[in-house]
């Protein structure tokens, strides 16, 4: 028997602290939770914030530069949560430890390169040892993955299905998220190589067709504005769930868009992202970009209170058409901590399908996680039934 049900690695960071607070308030009685990190003093400060649990939550030493400490951490837990990013710089040692120990692992990465690299290096070992490696358990990519899952289940079975997702949100980026984005822009060539190698090696369904359709900018009445293709990790996760789950039908396609009220805003965002990507390729300009926001900075409680997200889906197939929506509050921090915490609790407490290796939230947890998030205040609904 393991010592702990859940160990949270990175509790002293901004989102890690929010996740610790969420677990302290929402975990069922008897759930054995520990906090892990390299700085004991900072861990004690986090523990002191956990009202009613400050004297009960164990603190564990763990450091990404100390493999032995990560091995002990993984061997002591049923599920490990990691909030230590950028993951491409700091995430691999803990994934390796969990794959070797057969311990379930969740994180909130949105870094395609990291996810592909972890599949290439640890999927087979995790599969042999019974570990579920579930990346992208925050705003990247639960609303999109489970939103598409929810939409598919409103449509006929065994029919070709086409789903489009339309993302709108308001909020403030933390320094850590900003730093991760700039580092990802700087590594586009590395990411492309890993993605190509994964496509070469990863099995695909022989009797079903699963496709991503990039789409084009256009005005969309259902989305409520101008939409532009959004090439984040989210559509990749949706398509991986579709390959894993036959309920998505014999021929499934997915398109993913960002919604803006004005075309000029959409064009400006695309241009700004392109400029940041170009500047991130050169060390001097990359250092300048990274100096603009420090890791560890995050929005205030008042800013988070005003933040929101809404992802609308249009699904068509078998002669039917549905419009669904996933919505909630602060996407990057408050709701991400909720999604990450509920993912870990789901792996610990719920009856789930037998999966192992690197798996998506829809494939590993599906309906039980969706129901958990609904009870926690994230809305999944059919708009066409109003």
Domain boundaries, the chain: 4-138+336-369, 142-330+378-385
Residues in Cβ contact with 254 at an 8 Å cutoff, skipping those fewer than 6 apart: 148, 162, 163, 164, 165, 211, 212, 213, 235, 238, 239, 242
- Residue 339 to residue 372: CA distance in whole angstroms: 9
- Residue 32 to residue 297: CA distance in whole angstroms: 30
- Residue 269 to residue 385: CA distance in whole angstroms: 34
Topology annotation, domain 4-138+336-369:
Rossmann fold (3.40.50)
Closest CA to 239 of 210, 265, 275: 210
Ramachandran category for residue 202: left, alpha or beta (phi over 0 → left; psi -120 to 50 → alpha) = beta
- The per-residue pLDDT for range 314-368, each reduced to its tens digit, is 999 999 999 999 999 999 889 999 999 999 999 999 999 999 999 999 999 999 9
**pTM (global) more than 0.85:** yes
Residue 256 near residue 235, CB atoms below 8 Å: yes
Residue 64 near residue 84, CB atoms below 8 Å: yes
Number of residues that make up the chain: 386
- Residue 77 to residue 65: CA distance in whole angstroms: 20
pLDDT band with cut points at 50, 70 and 90 for residue 54: very low
pLDDT band with cut points at 50, 70 and 90 for residue 173: low
Residue 158 near residue 250, CB atoms below 8 Å: yes
């Amino acid at each position: 028997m393991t010592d702990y049900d859940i160990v949270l690695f990175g509790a002293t960071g901004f989102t890690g602290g929010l996740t610790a607070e969420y677990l302290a308030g929402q975990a069922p009685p008897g759930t054995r939770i520990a906090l892990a990190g390299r700085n004991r003093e900072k861990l004690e400060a986090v523990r002191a914030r956990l009202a009613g649990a400050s004297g009960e939550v164990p603190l564990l030493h763990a450091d990404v530069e100390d493999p032995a400490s990560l091995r002990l951490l993984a061997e002591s837990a049923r599920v490990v949560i990691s909030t230590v990013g950028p993951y491409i710089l700091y995430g691999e040692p803990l994934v390796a430890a969990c794959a070797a120990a057969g311990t379930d692992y969740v994180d909130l990465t949105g870094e395609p390169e990291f996810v592909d690299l972890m599949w290439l290096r640890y999927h087979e070992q995790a599969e042999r040892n019974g570990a579920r490696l579930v990346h992208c358990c925050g705003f990247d990519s639960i609303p999109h993955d489970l939103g598409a899952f929810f939409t598919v289940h409103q449509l006929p079975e065994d029919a070709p299905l086409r789903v489009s997702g339309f993302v709108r949100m308001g909020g403030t980026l933390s320094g850590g998220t900003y730093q991760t984005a700039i580092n990802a822009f700087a590594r586009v060539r590395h990411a492309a190589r890993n993605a190509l190698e994964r496509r070469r090696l990863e099995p695909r369904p022989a009797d079903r067709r699963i496709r991503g359709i990039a789409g084009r900018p256009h005005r969309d009445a259902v989305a409520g504005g101008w939409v532009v293709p959004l090439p984040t990790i989210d559509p990749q996760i949706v398509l991986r769930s579709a390959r894993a789950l036959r309920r998505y039908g014999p021929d499934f396609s997915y398109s993913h868009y960002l919604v803006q009220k004005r075309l000029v805003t959409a064009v400006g965002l695309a241009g700004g992202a392109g400029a940041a990507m170009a500047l991130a390729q050169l060390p001097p300009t990359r250092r300048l970009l990274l100096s603009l926001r420090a890791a560890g900075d995050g929005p205030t409680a008042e800013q988070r209170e005003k933040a929101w997200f809404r992802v609308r889906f249009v699904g068509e197939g078998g002669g039917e058409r549905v419009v669904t929506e996933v919505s909630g509050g602060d996407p990057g921090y408050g709701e991400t901590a909720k999604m990450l915490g509920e993912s870990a609790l789901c792996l610990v407490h719920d009856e789930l399908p037998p999966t192992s290796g690197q798996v998506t939230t829809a494939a590993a947890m599906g309906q039980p996680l969706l129901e958990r998030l609904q009870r926690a205040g994230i809305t999944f609904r059919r708009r066409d039934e109003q």
